[in-house]
Structure 1
Amino acid sequence: MQNKMCNYKSTWEVIMNSPDFSNTSPINSTSPPFETYFSLLQTKDRVVCLVLDVSGSMAENNRINRLYHAAEIFLLQIVEMGSWVGIVTFQSTAQIKINLQQIVSENVRQNLITYLPTTAGGGTKICEGVRKGFEVIKQKYSNLDGSEIVLLTDGEDACMSSCLTEVENSGSIIHTIALGPKAAPELEEFSDVTGGLKFYATDTVDSNGLIDAFSGISSGSGNISEQSIQLESTARSVAVKQWMNGTVTVDSTVGNDTFFVVTWDGITSPPAILLRDPKGKEYRTSNFTVSNLNLRTARLTIAGTAEVGDWLYWIQNNHIAPQVISMIVTSRAASLDVPPVTVKAHMNKDTNNFPNPMVIYAEVSQGFLPVLGATVMATVEPQTGSAVVLKLLDDGSGADITKNDGIYSKYFTSFKGNGRYNLKVRVQGKDKTVRLGRRQSQALYVPGYIENGEIKMNAPRPEVSDDEIQAKLGSFNRVASGGSFVVANVPSEGTTDVFPPCKIIDLEAQYEEDKIHLSWTAPGNDFDVGQAERYIIKMSESLLDLRNTFENATSLNTSSLVPNPAGTKESFKFKPEYFAIENDTVIYFAIRAVDNASLTSEVSNIAQAALFVTPKESSPDGALNDDVINEGISVLTIVLIVAGCVAAVLIAVSITVCIIHKRNRR
């Protein structure tokens, strides 16, 4: 794996070139070693304070109402039972709306949402809001260690740097949500210095970006059974009297504390809603609860554990004009003993300079087992322009390093401009195609060892039945936010093609009779997206020559080889003309892809084809060899001959024993 991914560099070369090593000063050998300190820590209840911007700009683009929708879902469905929650608002000044309240019942949740802001006005003083959030937490706790601040703003504050040091030394974790295109560019620094999450929501109301951001702020306690899991989050503009419909799959690993939430942005009266569970039970608009505080949200709570299977919904826009309607579904684990299927999405880095590519990752797992065969779609929404949808793959090619490890990957190169981007991942598993894999060590199993000249056997490798683990997994839906990232140096006048095809990392070669068969996964026009123009395949009897001087190696005629779209398995067979195919012949191969702008990929991994013919063992004189057997002597004949010989020997031995016995009697 290291040779394939690191171009045959040694371990020490890789370490020396890593940022962690190159950016660290060497330790002075004359100074004493660092003193080791131990700190005894213990868990405590989750403490969260919402610090929400209510400045004048929050009245634009319906932001204050969208904030209410999203924060309401966070308080009623996302934040865990037993958590302490407070609310602060800020504009030119900051105000404590409610001090920390412990969520011990549904009544506490309902009380908290009455303190969410509904009006906006004034300036933007972000540091004032953060300091007021610290004040709320310190009213109950002597320090801020481990506490969380959820900071949302849509504006800029020239004085943000004045409290950065205070924030860094506070011990609190600050999760930031940037709303709209003018949110302070320094906002993410608060998350960077405190280890918090970063989110970005555009003003595109049919993307659910703000709701997804709040839904992504779950507890970091590690107790997955307490965490809310998002099964669905979709929104679209629906024409007058038209329907929005869909299917949400509730799998066996979830079902407790399940909510179906419908939001709309038109008149206060709700749209016509029909929801049908897997057993045919129907829930209509009258079964949903519309809050007096938020007249554009209808919520249905499923009592007990939701039925496993497909839930179908139909929502009709009965307004006199088109309006955006959304459906959000959340749930929690059905059992403490069975971990739910979870999705964790992120980019390979938080900031990027054009024209460097980025990589999207989504890890789909159930407990410690990877989920294989799922359909994973990533949506990247830029600050300006339309969203980009990409299918992530777990096939060990392109951006994906290891096949079937449950981590689905894809290169991202569709940069629409400078600024923030957000990532959202949608995962769907179908019962007949999805399955659980196994975490496998890269180390080989060693069956035994030698001790003092004696062979000692290790315990046999444990066998795990695939049927046993696959039986626990069926169809499922998941939605997860992957946070935000920032891109700089994108040309304002547009870009030319600057992205070559990605490096091929799964080239394989093998002899098939008198031909050699090469196979690999097709790259794209831009890394692993699109379709390459042609291939350059080289071969050599020297691995080093092929690696160091690829251009000088022997070329193969690939004029008949037309590249397929990215992700397709390629196959190429040929008969070597430049090398004599003899026993012990080893030939090395490498490949590069070229796109329509003549941009060339890196040299692929080097594959080898080796021909080894096992020599026939010489037969002892007088012994029958395979050729003799094949020429006419059947197996039955051999068995009869051997049996006859054995019988003759036994008879001779018996006669000899009898003769000796008679002589002794005389």
Structure 2
Amino acid sequence: MAYSDAAAEVLQRLSTVTGGQYSFFDESSGSTALAGAAERLLKDINLCDEDDDDIEIDRGAFVLTSTKTTIIRILVIDSTVGNNTRFIFTLSQGAETEIKIGDPSGVVYNSNSNEYSNDETLNIKRFLFPLVKTGTWTYTLERNSNTNESITAVVTSRPRVGTLPFKVDTWTSSKTYDYSGGRSGVVAYAYVHQGYAPIVNASVEVEVSRPGDTLNITLQDNGLLPDNTANDGVYSNYLLGFKSNSRYSMDVRVESVEGETVIIKAGNALPSRTLSVFQNTTPPVRYEKVEAFSRTASPDAIDISGYNPTADQLDPGRVTDLDITIQNKLSQTVTLSWTAPGDDLNVGKVAKYELRVAVTFASLRVNFTQAAMVKNEDLVTGNMDPLPAGSQQMVTIRLPSNWSSAFYVFGLKAFDEASRQSELSNLRSITLQPLTIPQQNPAPEPASSATNFLIWVGVGLGAAVALAVVLVVIICICTRKSKTKENPI
């Protein structure tokens, strides 16, 4: 734990070398980093079963002043939790904040309730509920002194018996980022799940903060960089917008979105089919709506260095979804589409694109600048003007008519105003060469049931006639022999 800016710089390196946690508390009244670090530490050293861990439902920091004397906070306790639910309020020194908690049925708990306890030395007020009702809860904070009162509130709960709780796991790609040598940025991740089943279409927000500098970043699960796979429950995004070389703390908040958030579960397995939940949107996977819930968590802190506000220090984002949507052999045209990257990774708008075409994959990868570049005169529809990051772009181009090859490979790079370039996009190819499918002689058609019946009838009649002939011959021979004995020569 780096406590304030005066903490030693070696702490981050120490946590990396030892595989430990790294947190930063800036001592401001609006920071919940200290409470978040305590929750993470308790989970890390807990010797009990993981399912018995406290699950953080809500966390917030508040300041009551002469102009803002009351704060009401609303939260949801879902049906997957509810055992040993704790409301913990840490007050600043001298604060006399009055606290009231309301449950879904309208019952109000205060300092006179049996669930209440007070640590006067640390000025921490707690409410412990062995088993709570599912639904909407509230707590009210009222200023009760003549000075500003700072409060950090944390609500935790444990899973109900026989249920799998909704959980959030968070982490970052690195605990440090050096702008002077970096190009890919730092990525924050949040895995939202119930057991092994991913929860998708949720709202996932990260607050990156230090005194006077707060960034709010939305994590996405759409399959576009830096996200790897869409709808796998892992939300991610670049941490961008830092304004100083210093430490930053991070808080993640996950909330369900009414009518949109679903959980991907496995259904009934089909014969001769592998049953998989991840990366599989066809049966037997099924989508189930998720009840209202919220979770909070804290990934590692991050140390920023090498930041220069006067320089462009980040490359444009890489296109990962270049695709061929239409091809026309008669007109020798092809339509390509892609999602616009950003000037700085996935933020902003790039200055230009270079779309190039070659006859082999290797030639584009090894020597992109030597491949034929698509120019304005090659465009049939659309244009190569960049759009803001996240926009869909589409152009139809006329293929080179003087090439002997009928195989074409396309690749794209983005450039910003500082001439920084993105990595090469994914490559797409087409062929206009007609494909010949070998034809086999058709197998003789099987005889119908009527034909089989006639065949058997014919065989039967033939056998009967042959038998009759044999019997006639035998009778004739026997008769002749009999006459010969009666009238010998």
TM-score, normalisation: structure 1: 0.58
Q: Read off the aligned partner of 1:604 and give its amino acid letter.
A: S
Partner residue in 2 for 1:546: 364
Structure 2 match to 1:327: 153
From 543, 552, 560, the equivalent of 2:383 is 560
The counterpart of 1:344, out of the listed 161, 169, 181, is: 169
Deviations 1:540-590 (A, max 9, x none): 222122112222322234773454443x352414143325899x9432111
Deviations 1:501-555 (A, max 9, x none): 1222232334455553433333222112233343322222221221122223222
Query: Structure 1, residues 19-56: CA drift from partner, whole Å, max 9, x if none?
Result: xxxxxxxxxxxxxxxxxxxxxxxxxxxxxxxxxxxxxx
Other-structure match for 1:487 = 304
Structure 2 residue corresponding to 1:293, chosen from 120, 125, 133: 120
Q: Aligned letter for 2:425?
A: S
Matched AA of 1:210? L
1:120-269 pair list within 5 angstroms: 177-188=1-12, 190-217=14-41, 218-220=43-45, 221=47, 223-239=49-65, 240=67, 243-265=70-92, 268-269=95-96
Match of 1:379 among 186, 189, 207: 207
Matches of 1:352 and 1:205 in 2, distance apart? 26
What is the match of residue 577 of structure 1? Answer: 399
- For 1:461, the equivalent position in structure 2 comes to 274
Q: Distance in 1 between matches of 2:306 and 2:138?
A: 45
Which residue in 1 is equivalent to 2:475? none
Tell me if structure 2 keeps the 8 A contact 1:510–1:609: no
Cα separation, 2, equivalents of 1:212 and 1:648: 83
1:409 aligned to which of 215, 232, 236:
236
Root mean square deviation of aligned Cα: 3.8
Q: Shift in Å at residue 330 of structure 1?
A: 0.9
CA distance in 2: counterparts of 1:265 and 1:484, whole angstroms: 24
Measure, in 2, the Cα distance between the counterparts of 1:281 and 1:532.
56
Which residue number in structure 2 is paired with residue 536 of structure 1? 354
CA positional deviation for 1:595:
3.0
* Cross-structure match for 2:344: 526
Change in CA separation of 1:609 and 1:434 when aligned onto 2, cut-off 3 Å: farther
Matched, 1:594 2:415: yes
Amino acid at match of 1:354: Y
Residue 266 of structure 1: how far off its partner (Å): 7.9
- Aligned counterparts of 1:564 and 1:192: Cα–Cα separation in 2: 40
Name the counterpart of 1:661. 464
Equivalent residue number for residue 248 of structure 2: 421
Question: Following the alignment from structure 1 to structure 2, what is the Cα–Cα distance between the partners of residues 390 and 238?
Answer: 27
Task: Report the equivalent of 1:156.
Answer: none
C-alpha separation between the residues in 1 aligned to 2:44 and 2:297?
Answer: 14
Is the partner of 1:546 in helix, strand or coil? Answer: helix
Distance 1:272 1:600, change over 3 A: same
Q: Which residue of 2 aligns with 1:477?
A: 294
**1:502-513 residue pairs with structure 2 within 5 A?**
502-513=317-328
**Higher helix proportion (structure 1 or 2):** 1
- CA drift at 1:591: 1.3
Which secondary structure does the structure 2 equivalent of 1:506 belong to? coil
Which stretch of the first structure deviates more once superposed, 185-194 or 609-618?
A: 609-618
- In structure 2, do the counterparts of structure 1 residues 505 and 615 end up closer, same or farther at CA, with 3 Å as the change threshold? same
- Residue pair 1:219, 1:227 contacting (<8 A) in 2 also: no
Tell me, in whole angstroms, the C-alpha distance in 1 between the residues paired with 2:58 and 2:252: 11
Corresponding residue of 1:497: 312
**5+ residue gaps in structure 1?**
1-176, 440-457, 624-641
Counterpart contact for 1:509–1:589, Cα < 8 Å = no
Amino acid across the alignment from 2:255? Q
Residues 655/590 of structure 1: CA separation in 2 closer, same or farther (3 Å cut)? closer
Partner AA of 1:342 in structure 2:
K
Does the CA contact (< 8 Å) of 1:511 and 1:609 recur in 2? no
- CA separation of 1:618/1:222 partners in 2, compared to 1, >3 Å: closer, same or farther? same
CA distance in 2, matches of 1:189, 1:655: 95
Structure 1 counterpart of 2:53, one-letter code: Q
Measured at CA, do residues 331 and 662 of structure 1 come closer, stay the same or move farther in structure 2, by a change above 3 Å?
Answer: same
Quote how far apart the aligned CAs of 1:215 are.
1.4
Contact 1:270–1:298 (8 Å) recurs in 2: no
Residues 268 and 295 in structure 1, CA contact (< 8 A), matched pair in contact too: no
Q: 2:97 matched to 1:275?
A: no
Structure 2 spans left out of the alignment, 5+ residues: 473-489
Query: Which string of whole-angstrom CA distances, capped at 9 and with x for unpartnered residues, describes residues 427-483 of structure 1?
Result: 2233643334579xxxxxxxxxxxxxxxxxx96424769787755953322211112
User: SS of the residue aligned with 1:544?
Assistant: helix
Distance 1:619 1:185 in 2: 75
* 2:226 equivalent in structure 1: 399
2:486 aligns with: none
Name the CA distance, whole Å, in 1 between partners of 2:288 and 2:18.
42
Cα distance in 1, alignment partners of residues 134 and 417 from structure 2? 49
- 1:367 and 2:195 correspond: yes
Q: In the aligned structure 2, how far is the partner of 1:429 from the partner of 1:259? A: 22
One-letter identity of the residue aligned with 1:371: I
Give the structure with higher Rg (CA). 2
- In the aligned structure 1, how far is the partner of 2:37 from the partner of 2:220? 24
- Which amino acid letter does the alignment assign opposite residue 661 of structure 1? A
- What's the secondary structure of 1:399's corresponding residue? coil
TM-score (norm 2): 0.77
Contact kept, 8 Å, 2:199 with 2:262, in 1: the verdict is yes
Opposite residue 359 of structure 1, the aligned amino acid is: V
Q: Which amino acid aligns with 2:37?
A: A
Aligned to 1:14: none
| 2:134 match | 308
Report the number of matched residues.
444
How big is the shift at 1:228? 1.8
Return the offset for 1:293.
Answer: 1.0
User: CA–CA distance in 2 between the matches of 1:490 and 1:417?
Assistant: 7
Contact 1:228–1:332 (Cα < 8 Å) also in 2:
yes
Note the C-alpha offset of 1:238: 4.5
Counterpart residue identity of residue 317, structure 2: C
Q: Is the CA contact 1:241–1:319 (under 8 Å) kept in the aligned structure 2? A: no
Matches of 2:298 and 2:220 in 1, distance apart? Answer: 18
Q: Percent identity?
A: 25
- Whichever residue aligns with residue 328 of structure 1, its letter is V
8 A contact 1:425–1:481 mirrored in 2:
yes
